[in-house]
Amino acid sequence: MHYEKCFCENIMKTIWGAKDYVVVQEDLKECGIWPRLWLEPIVGGFFKPIASYVLSNEEKDRFLQIITDLKTPTRYVSSLKKRISKDGDLKGMKSHDYLIMMQEVLHVYMCHLMEKGCRTTIIRLCHVFKRLCRKIMDLTTMGELKKEMAMTLVLLEKEFPPGYYKLFHNRLF
């Protein structure tokens, strides 16, 4: 559950743009990767391109509306609408809340938000965690799960900042 908490916090902060720092974009240029996100000098400063994994204001509003309208059984999860602020900050959520957010909520509602590559990556990540956290594991499908985790790692490397796939790889492999 604690890995899910860590990943869910990171995903929410990233898609809200809270982790989209100038330093990160300078590092991308220094590493020679993702030229579409490099800072571009303009008169009086620089232009900071918006990454494909950051939600637009309309998408943020839609996501918050979905969370606000979410109805769950009593005591299944704390009220998520009170826990997610307008800036994407998650406040007062417990590990079980993150588990529900990652396994039941996030992958369902991401289907209509973001670009296809980013949302597919998040959905796959949610499915991997859902399979890992089952009460009963079928040992015959462990090889298939390892392949799915490896493919998800490749998608994370392709769609999200470099820190994600390092975090995912270090925690799961």
Highest mean pLDDT among 108-112, 117-121, 169-173 belongs to 117-121
pLDDT tier at 163, thresholds 50, 70, 90: low
pLDDT tier at 48, thresholds 50, 70, 90: confident
Count of residues in the chain? 173
Q: What is the per-residue pLDDT for 95? A: 81
Highest mean pLDDT among 4-8, 26-30, 90-94, 144-148 belongs to 144-148
CA nearest to 156, candidates 1, 3, 11: 11
Q: What is the per-residue pLDDT for 165? A: 54
Enclosing H/E stretch for 32: none
Mean pLDDT of the chain: 79
Contact 114, 15 (CB under 8 A): yes
Q: What is the per-residue pLDDT for 153? A: 84
Enclosing H/E stretch for 173: none
Judge residue 59's burial from the number of C-beta atoms within 10 Å of its C-beta, 0-12 exposed, 13-18 middle, 19 or more buried: middle
Q: What is the per-residue pLDDT for 172? A: 53
- Look at residue 28 and tell me whether its pLDDT is greater than 80: no
Contact 115, 52 (CB under 8 A): yes
pLDDT tier at 33, thresholds 50, 70, 90: confident
- Look at residue 168 and tell me whether its pLDDT is greater than 60: no
Kindly report whether the global pTM for this prediction surpasses the value 0.85: no
Whole-number Cα distances in Å, 23 to 18, 30, 165: 13, 10, 19
Q: What is the per-residue pLDDT for 137? A: 79
* 42 vs 173, more confident: 42
- Measured in degrees and rounded to the nearest 5, phi and psi for residue 64 equal -65, -35
